[in-house]
Amino acid sequence: MKNILVVYWSGTGNTEKMANFIGQGISSGGANPIVESVSNVDANEIDKFEVIALGCPSMGNEVLEESEMEPFVESIAQKVNGKKVALFGSYGWGDGQWMRDWVDRMESYGADVIENGLTINNEPDKDGEEECITLGKELAKI
């Protein structure tokens, strides 16, 4: 069974919920999800995975969370060339600029970014939950 790594940072739990729903979708799609907070993941681990998902809410002023997620993303810059990468995260009042910038950045590292990054306003509602599950199922099929 294919293992898919889902790494997230979440301050108030919204992106964590997205990560867990994506994990649920990966399972129902027939693959094995490994859902981990970024604080538990070493950059070298991602070498073992063909498909990864990274989650982070919009923080600061439309940027990634700066103490853990930002350095993690920087640390995998040389490791994602040709890898399938899904991006996701929750946001509050912005227009999603952090996600557009993040997609561009991962593409500049050579990653094959799946769709355009899944963004959900605040806590995922029932529709948001479904979107996350659907993304997980898509990842399982790759």
HSE, side-chain direction, 13 A CA sphere, residue 81 = 2
Which three-class secondary structure state does DSSP give residue 88? strand
127: number of Cβ within 10 Å: 9
CB of 78 to ligand FMN, least distance (A): 27
Q: Does 119 bind ligand FMN (CB under 6 A)?
A: no
Among 4, 5, 7, 14, binds ligand FMN (CB under 6 A): 14
Among 47, 61, 82, 108, binds ligand FMN (CB under 6 A): 61
- With beta carbons less than 8 A apart as the criterion, state whether 118 and 18 touch: yes
Q: Kindly tell me which of 30 and 94 has the beta carbon lying closer to ligand FMN.
A: 94
- With beta carbons less than 8 A apart as the criterion, state whether 66 and 38 touch: no
Which three-class secondary structure state does DSSP give residue 138? helix
Report residue 76 as tokens. Answer: 């995998």
C-alpha span between 88 and 133 (Å, rounded): 12
For tokens 């919009």, what's the residue?
58
C-alpha span between 130 and 66 (Å, rounded): 29
Q: What is the size of the binding site for ligand FMN (CB under 6 A)? A: 19
Q: Does 60 bind ligand FMN (CB under 6 A)?
A: yes
Q: Does 67 bind ligand FMN (CB under 6 A)?
A: no
Q: Kindly tell me which of 4 and 56 has the beta carbon lying closer to ligand FMN.
A: 56
Q: Does 59 bind ligand FMN (CB under 6 A)?
A: yes
Among 72, 88, 91, 102, binds ligand FMN (CB under 6 A): 91
Q: Kindly tell me which of 30 and 92 has the beta carbon lying closer to ligand FMN.
A: 92
- Which chain residues interact with ligand FMN by CB under 6 A? 10-16, 57-62, 90-94, 122
